Amino acid sequence: MIEKLTRKNLKSFKPYDALEVKCDVKLDANENSMNIKEDILNKIVKKIMTLNFNRYPDPASRKVCRLYADYAGADAKNVMAGNGSDELIQIIVSTFVDRGESIMCVNPDFSMYKNYAKLAGGRAKVFELNEDFSLDVDGIIDSVNKEDVKVLFLSNPNNPVATVIKRENILKIVDKCNSIVVIDEAYIEFYGNSVIDEINNYENLIVLRTCSKAVAMAAIRLGFLITNYRLLQEIKKVKPPFNVNSVTQAIGEVILENTGYIREYTEKILQERKFLFDELKTIDGLEVYGTHSNFVIMRLKNSKQVYEGLLQNGISVRNYLNDARLSNFIRITVGSRKENELTIECLKKFIK
C-alpha cells in the first residue's frame, strides 16, 4: 500500500547521505575545526535562560537578520533567515519552479540543488564544468536561456572542488541569464569577493550564506538569503511561519553580537590550509587542487583503498566513490595542526 501512496517521482530518488562515521579525526563535512569560545558559550546559556519556551519564535527572525545584515554588509530589509541553506534552497525552488520546469546547476556542485528540484516535481539540468573544473561562462548563459531554465544555482567557492567564478563573470551571468541566479556563498569568508553588494542592481540575483562554516555554528542550522526587496516579498510567500526556532535565533543573536572570533578562526584555518596544501603537494601520487575554501581536494589512483585506510586509522574524509566524475577524488576538511599532521602521515602509508 505504501508504494501506491508514495509520490511516483520518489520511487527512484536517493536521499542525501549524511551518515555519521565514528572516528577520532573528523575531516569529512567541512565543519569548522574550532568550537565557540567559552565566554561566548556562557553568553549563549544566559540568553537561552531568558526565553519564553511557551511562546512561538519571532516569525521574521528580525533581530538575527538585522545582526547578520550588519555582519555581511547588507540592509536588514533584504535578509531572510532559514534552517541552514538547505531550507532556503527548498524555499527558492518552491517559489519559482512549477512541476515539469527546470533548474540548472553545474557538475560537480552541491547535490541538494538537484534533489530539491526533483522533490518539487521539477527537473534538474546539469552543465558540466571544464576538465580543470573552471566554468564556461558563455556556454552556461547560452544553455540557461535556450533550455528555459527558471533558476540557476552556483556555489562560489564551489563545493566540492573549491574553484571560484570571478566576480565579473558572475555579474555577466546574472545580467545575461533570463532566470533567477542563486550564488551560494557558504565558503565566502575563506575567499572574499562576495556579490552581496550587487543584490539591488539586479532583479534576479539571490545570495545564500550559512553559519555552518567560518562562523563555526553548524549545530544550530542557521542560514540566510539576501536579495532585493521586491524579490524577497515573493520568496516570503513560501517561507513557513515560525521556521527558525527561538533557541537558534537566540544563539545566532549572541554569535552575531560577538563576531570578532570569526576573523581569528578564519585566519587560523587559512594558515592550516596552506600547511595542509603544501605538505600534500610533496606526496608522490597525489594531484592536489588549489583551494579557496576550508578544504582541500585531491585526485589519486587508489582512492577507495586510501579512504578505507584512513578510516581504519580513525580519520574520516569525504570520498566520492559513487560519483562518476569524482570517483578518484578525496576531499579533506582543514583541521587543527595535529589533525592535519596525523592525516598527512597516514596518507603517506596508503598512497600508491
How confident is the model over 259-287, as pLDDT tens digits? 999 999 999 999 999 999 999 999 999 99
**pLDDT tens for residues 30-66?**
999 999 999 999 999 999 999 999 999 999 999 999 9
Domains 17-32+261-350 and 39-256 share a fold: no
Residue 190's φ and ψ, nearest 5 degrees, are -90, 0
**pLDDT tens for residues 207-218?**
999 999 999 999
How far lies 174's CA from each of 138, 179, 234, in Å?
12, 8, 19
User: Which cell is 54 given?
Assistant: 511557551
Give kind and range of the element (H or E) at residue 72: helix 62-72
CA 223 from centre of chain: 10
Closest CA to 289 of 304, 277, 302: 277
Closest CA to 296 of 323, 315, 317, 316: 317
Domain residue extents for the chain: 17-32+261-350, 39-256
Q: Block means of pLDDT (10 residues each) for the chain, length 352 residues?
A: 80 71 90 97 98 98 99 98 98 97 98 95 97 98 98 98 97 99 98 98 99 98 99 98 98 98 98 98 92 95 94 96 94 98 94 74
Class of domain 17-32+261-350: alpha beta
Residue 186's φ and ψ, nearest 5 degrees, are -60, -30
Looking at residue 298, what is its pLDDT?
Answer: 96
Looking at residue 266, what is its pLDDT?
Answer: 98
| 39-256 is a CATH 3.40.50.1100 domain | no
Q: What is the pTM of this model?
A: 0.96
